[in-house]
Amino acid sequence: MTSVTPTLGIGTVEAAVEAALSTVRRNLDRFGGAYPGDTTVSDRYLLRPAENGIPEGGNRGWTTSFRTGTLWLAWELTGDEAFRAGAERDVDDFARRLHAGEDLDTHDLGFLYTLSTVAAWRLTDDEAARVVSLEAAETLMTRFLEPAGILQAWGDLSDPAQRGRTIIDSLMNMPLLTWAGEQSGNPAFADAVRRHTAQLRTHIFRADDSTFHTFYWDAETGEPLRGATEQGAFDESCWARGQAWGIYGFAMNFAATGDEGLLDAARRSARYFLAHLPADDVPYWDMVYTDGSDAPRDSSAAAIAVCGLLELAQVETDADLAVEWTERAHAILASLIERYAPDPAESSDALLRHSVYDLPKDVGVDEGTLWGDYFYLEALVRVSVPGWEKYW
Ligand code: GLY
């Protein structure tokens, strides 16, 4: 157990880990190799709906690897081979998805292949998984747009609605490229990471340190155009999960590139996020809402922020700030354990209740999410397994 602040006792964390693992086991028994949906529906995961020729329970969308990553974490925590076997079944399916060319038009290849095949290689030296990870990184690189120096987030590269658009979440997709650069020795990967993250730190912030969810560049000239939202309340609001992606993503990319501007960006993301939390330390889904609002919370943003603050504390060059990030992370995690984890565990299929996927589209509002589950368990691992090495 790493040192914990008074807000986060050892017994509390151990009980939270046990409860989470019981749910991971229950979901593994129930779903086997089929994938649940992005979010629960009334606290229950259902089979992922069929879409675009991919059958019900199939591997599509950006969230399936969070199940795989959760299984890897469960295996690391317990050594139970059933969790490893479940994760490896997913890894084989991620290889199949890549080679079949299924639903790959997205920058989220980073999320998808970091938590599945890269994690497999890191944890088990799986050579086939290493090769697939490199192929996924090559595919992600096809989204790099010159002269803007950004990776396009969504859709076909010729889609006028998406062309030249990137989003703050993309920071979390960069580790796949950083890893591929280290493995292959090809400097193009690190160059793409350096340029994309520099564009984001320059343009994704407003003067008050809040962030846009998305930003457009002119794909022909490379000129930065405008910020906008996709999942936030309005273009000038601060979508809570985006701000949390900023904490974690800028911190990791600072470590990868050595670009001091990214450390500053991670600190700015953290300061704004922490200054706009309500009394229980778990944000409303958009940070325009404050104490007293009846807007839904996004507990997944809080879980991402815990991991991001703990990562920032590790790379922080100012010792006092490192202590502050750690203490605030522990306080948020304590609140998640006390108020947002299902009690009893069986009362939800999710590890964390009360998240929001996309409120403007009325999708997954006040539900559990696959990524909320993953980051909550990663947060618990970070505070309970000394020296744990992340998959990113
Ligand atoms: N990366 C998409 C989301 O956070 O909803």
pLDDT score for 299:
99
What are the domain boundaries of the chain? Answer: 10-384
Give 41's strand partners: 44
The predicted-structure confidence for 216-257, as pLDDT tens digits, reads as follows 999 999 999 999 999 999 999 999 999 999 999 999 999 999
pLDDT score for 50:
98
Atom index in ligand 1 nearest the CA of residue 108 equals 1
| Distance in Å, CA 250 to ligand 1 centroid | 16
The predicted-structure confidence for 276-301, as pLDDT tens digits, reads as follows 999 999 999 999 999 999 999 999 99
The predicted-structure confidence for 89-98, as pLDDT tens digits, reads as follows 999 999 999 9
How far apart (Å, rounded) are the C-alpha atoms in residues 219 and 161? 12
pLDDT of 338 > 50? The answer is yes
**Any binding-site annotation on 245?**
yes
How far apart (Å, rounded) are the C-alpha atoms in residues 330 and 351? 18
**Any binding-site annotation on 343?**
no
What's the CATH architecture for 10-384?
Alpha/alpha barrel (1.50)
How far apart (Å, rounded) are the C-alpha atoms in residues 154 and 214? 11
How far apart (Å, rounded) are the C-alpha atoms in residues 208 and 251? 19
Q: What is the mean pLDDT of the chain?
A: 97
Residues lining ligand 1, Cβ inside 6 A: 169, 231, 241
Q: How far is CA 206 from CA 121, 202, 223, 341, 380, in A?
A: 39, 10, 18, 33, 32
Instruction: Kindly report whether the global pTM for this prediction surpasses the value 0.85.
Output: yes
Atom index in ligand 1 nearest the CA of residue 371 equals 4
pLDDT score for 26:
98
How far apart (Å, rounded) are the C-alpha atoms in residues 37 and 58? 10
The predicted-structure confidence for 191-216, as pLDDT tens digits, reads as follows 999 999 999 999 999 999 999 999 99
The predicted-structure confidence for 139-155, as pLDDT tens digits, reads as follows 999 999 999 999 999 99
Annotated catalytic residues are: 108, 169
